[in-house]
Amino acid sequence: MKFDRNTLLGFGILAILFFGYFYFTNQQQAEYRKKKKAEEAVKLAKEDSLAKLNKPKQDSLNKIQDSISTVTKTALFKGATDTTEKTIVAENDLVKVTFTNKGGQVKKVELKQYRGHDSSLVKLAGTDFDKISYTINTGRSGPDATTETADQFFSSNEVVKNADGSQVISFTLTSADSAAANSITHEFLLKKDDYMVDFNIKMNGVNQWLTQGGMNLTWQYAAAQQETDISYEQQNTQVSYVKDGSFDYHTIGRKSSKNFDESVKWIGMRQRFFFAILTAKNNFNMGTMEWTMPPDSARTVVRSVAKMKIQVPAGSPAIVPLSLYYGPSEYHILKRYDMKFEKAVNLGQGIYAFVRPINKFIIIPIFDFLKSIAGSMGLAIALLTLFIKLVTSPLLYKSYLSGAKMKVLRPEIAKLKEKHGGDQQAMSMDQMKLFREAGVNPLGGCLPALLQIPIFFALFSLFNSDVALRGAEFLWSTDLAAFDDPIKLGFRIPFFGSHVSVFNLTAVFTSFLISWYSMSMTPDQSNPVLKYMPYIFPVFLLFFFNQLPSALTWYYTVSNVITLALQYIIQNYIIDHDKIMAKIEENRKKPKTKSKWQERMEQMQEQQKKMKEMQQKKKK
């Protein structure tokens, strides 16, 4: 694409605003994360000190409490004397789910299609913090009046395999005091080739277990670090939910809690590439969700605690239908569930929501096709870039033509500079007159050039959220979803990092070449700000792009190379400069009509000229 002076100035201003926004946003988020991590570190340190001081006493108390607990459980629930944790595994081609009889719940989920940086399967919900539980009545009074299901040992059955490939796992807790043998059954259904686990809570004797049928359910989830850069992963982690039928989200670095006063269909924690979701098929009535960011040393992106309320219907058994999703944050997979899960995938959110349709209806279908034929993600990105450039080139022809006209007028502009010397006011007025006579709009290249901005933001969002890029190798990059760092500095440079991204260097170098080539096509600038503005943009890129995914810096490099090639071809083989000059001479002979903008500009310039003349007279 061809830039004239005003286009470059516009891009420079946009670049400053763009990078300024990201800088201040990141600074605010970083300050919030730093504060929260410091508070968490102090809290953990205090707890650790107290634990060490009280350890001897606590060990003795634990032994006593364990004995009391065993006796109490024996009195309350049938089969509770066996307090040994037992696990059951169910799996399909996508996931391996481990269940535990302690609480009758999911213990951990391993994703078979995705691996961590230690080459082991990605694990979700696999820490001691993770649990799903609710409060039940025991029929006792005092401290033993209620208990949590997560603390109870359920009896379990073997995995039942159905003809359709689905598997059923059941855990049962039975009351010892009830002649009717009231019970709770946790039934899990894992379907073939599905990440979703259906979770049905079946209750016989609801009024015994729950007070007035109200279930207070707690879902704790620790999102383990999955990417190399935990700070960048936290920036791209969100609490998502559908409340009263509408999707919404909160970035974890900006808030720490959310109250739900209306019905909620589902709540979830979306990391950059993975998603954990709890769905209530009949909706949660209300609830709260809180989250904290532990210190980086904990290798945990965020810990969340959701406390949701469900009104359990009467019946025997009464059924509470829930479901759990532990899997990739992949647009096509999430869209199949038809519950607005896919809206959590960042294809354009917040102030960039305007690019989401571009990704959904244009870029994603094309990129999916290219991925299927390219053989590598890097080549698919290069082909996507080529496609975008070829499609938008006709739209940008006006920009190229404007640049060609400016090049033709360079000799005459040089004569005007020689004529007026240092009188910038007179020079500006005559230059505007020249542009008008020649039929040249100095802003002619701006609007077409701005068409590139939405495309860049669309790809910025897509490359930050496309799980297919995760772990994809290309050239020297071992992961296109992360920055490439073949050069490690061993020390940290503020706003730059402790590494050098080679793709960043190629993007910056090619951007500099575009600026240099474009400036060589435009009239010489006496104003130093305008003269050096185009070269400031690559400097911004050097610092900003070094931390970005290599998929984006590779795209930018390819885009710049194609831009340079198009500029050269169009300028030297497509645009006829003699024909343009003839057209300019023809325009000069025609009677000119001034636009309102031109009239206002000339009036303003005349006023400035008069004021300058008056000031000079006063000095004399």
pLDDT in tens, 503-513: 999 999 998 88
Per the DSSP assignment, residues forming a β-bridge with 175 are 77
Domains and their CATH numbers in the chain: 5-28+354-606 (no CATH), 84-345 (2.70.98.90)
Spatial CB neighbours of 54, under 8 Å, sequence gap ≥ 6: none
Helix (H) or strand (E) holding 489: strand 487-493
pLDDT number for residue 193: 93
- What is the rounded distance in angstroms from the CA atom of residue 469 to the CA atom of residue 377? 7
Q: What is the pLDDT of residue 408?
A: 74
Reported as a single tens digit per residue, the pLDDT across 345-372 is 999 998 889 999 999 999 999 999 999 9
Residue 477 DSSP one-character state: B
Residue 546 is given by DSSP the state G
Can you tell me the distance from the alpha carbon of 184 to that of 458, in angstroms, rounded to the nearest whole number? Answer: 49
pLDDT reported for residue 171: 95
- Taking residues 39-63, what's their average pLDDT? 56
Residue-level pLDDT at 185: 94
The span from the CA of 557 to the CA of 548, in Å, is: 13
Phi then psi for 89, rounded to 5 degrees?
Answer: -115, 135
Residue 405 confidence class, pLDDT cut points 50, 70, 90: confident
Range with the poorest average pLDDT among 73-87, 273-287, 362-376, 563-577: 73-87
pLDDT over 70 (residue 23): no
Cα distance between residue 205 and residue 187, in whole Å: 17
- Specify the higher pLDDT residue, 135 or 527: 135
Compute the average pLDDT of residues 260-285: 95
Q: Bigger pLDDT: 181 or 594?
A: 181
pLDDT at position 315 = 74
Alpha helices (H) in 522-576, listed in sequence order = 528-544, 550-569
CB 220 within 8 A of CB 304: yes
Q: Which residue has the tokens 């049928």?
A: 213
CB 481 within 8 A of CB 273: yes
- For residue 599, the model assigns a pLDDT of 65
**Residues 210-235: tens digit of each pLDDT:** 998 999 999 999 999 999 889 889 99
E-assigned strands of 92-228? 95-100, 105-115, 121-124, 131-137, 146-148, 155-156, 160-161, 167-175, 183-190, 196-203, 214-224
